[in-house]
Structure 1
Amino acid sequence: MITIQQEAGTVTFEEFVTARGAALVRLARGLLRDPDTAEDVVQDVLAKALLKWGRISSADDPVAYVNRMVVNASTSFWRRAARREHATDQLPDAGYGDATGQLADRDELLAALRELPTKQRTVLVLRHFEDYSDEQIADLLDVTTGTVRSNAHRGLATLRTALSR
């Protein structure tokens, strides 16, 4: 996980977006079923973050603050039933070439991940795509570490079942 290490309040919004923009989109793509929607959610979050950048940049951890905004915006998106869309077959950009077998495996994994309940999917994406610890996830989602572990356990069990078929 990349952190922004500068004196408090001196990180500009542009520097933050340059350093963390791609990671925010990856996070949203893991949480949402449609990559285009994920990019829209991140764009909306960054627009809101720009308006509050003075407060965000002076926070203890601006990265966690904006990540929380992305998680909340993704959750809010799914709460609006009228906006629910079907899953797409597009994959997140991995930044490297895939062999055919790896591409098929990743496609199957992402399809199964998209079928998980929101909390389980969120925990697994934060843990395995963003390399957050259970404590960081608990702080981000405002739940206990036990809840994080429970959601991770249930989500992984569901994925194993879905992928073993």
Structure 2
Amino acid sequence: MAGEGFEQFVRVRYTELLHTAYLLTGSVVSAEDLVQTCLLKVMPRFERIAEPMPYLRRAMVNQRTSWWRSVRRELLSAEPPEPDGPGPAYEFAERSALMAELARLPQRMRAVLVLRYWEDLSEADTAEILGCSVGTVKSQASRGLTRLRAVLEPSGESQRSAQ
């Protein structure tokens, strides 16, 4: 894709990058900022990058971590409305609950879950992007999924309410 030029790459891959950034940040505005920041950093040397998607994923994870360190705290959003039952409002509430819980995970754990399950990357590819071992990816994914299940499953709701 590097031969097609930067503009063509952005036209084709922007939405995909934006989805990944949204999962990393939990905010549409922050996701747009993250993608734009990383694209601006990559643009001058784009033609020399053999595989731009893995490179940009890594850049987004690193940039998000850098922003998180500078703020040193996560901004919490209001709780989603109670679901009425199946339908768009219910699906929105479910997705909002998932995003809220994803935002509470440590940065590395969140990055592993986003890259493994949203981007559908292999454990080896995820480990390469994050600069860690495959074992770290496996353990972070397992712990992250366990934490999400504990809070998001119906039995997890009652446990969380009791705390």
What TM-score results when the alignment is normalised by the length of structure 2?
0.82
Distance 1:130 1:87 in 2: 25
Identity of aligned pairs, percent? 40
Name the residue aligned to 1:124.
113
Name the residue aligned to 2:39.
46
Name the residue aligned to 2:14.
21
Name the residue aligned to 2:25.
32
Structure number, greater radius of gyration: 2
**Structure 1 gap segments, 5+ residues each:** 90-97
Asked if the contact 1:33/1:88 (under 8 Å) is kept, the reply is no
Asked if the contact 2:25/2:64 (under 8 Å) is kept, the reply is yes
Distance 2:132 2:6 in 1: 29
Moved over 6 A (4+): none
Asked if the contact 1:138/1:144 (under 8 Å) is kept, the reply is yes
Name the SS for the 1:80 alignment partner.
helix
Distance 2:94 2:71 in 1: 30
Q: Please report how far the alpha carbon of residue 153 of structure 1 lies from its aligned counterpart in structure 2 after TM superposition.
A: 0.6
Task: State the Cα RMSD in Å.
Answer: 2.0
> Structure 1 or 2: larger helix share?
2
Distance 1:72 1:55 in 2: 20
Asked if the contact 2:3/2:47 (under 8 Å) is kept, the reply is no
Q: Which residue identity lines up with residue 53 of structure 2 in the other structure?
A: V
Name the SS for the 2:3 alignment partner.
coil
Residue by residue over 1:6-40, the C-alpha shift from the partner in whole angstroms, topping out at 9 and shown as x without a partner, is xxx52200111011111111111111133212211
Name the residue aligned to 2:95.
106
Number of corresponding residues: 148
Distance 2:10 2:76 in 1: 27
The match for 1:150 among 115, 139, 146 is: 139
The match for 2:104 among 115, 137, 153 is: 115
Q: Which protein, 1 or 2, shows the higher relative CO under an 8 Å CA cutoff with sep ≥ 6? A: 1
Residue by residue over 1:66-109, the C-alpha shift from the partner in whole angstroms, topping out at 9 and shown as x without a partner, is 11111111111101026x551346xxxxxxxx723222211111
The match for 1:81 among 38, 53, 71 is: 71
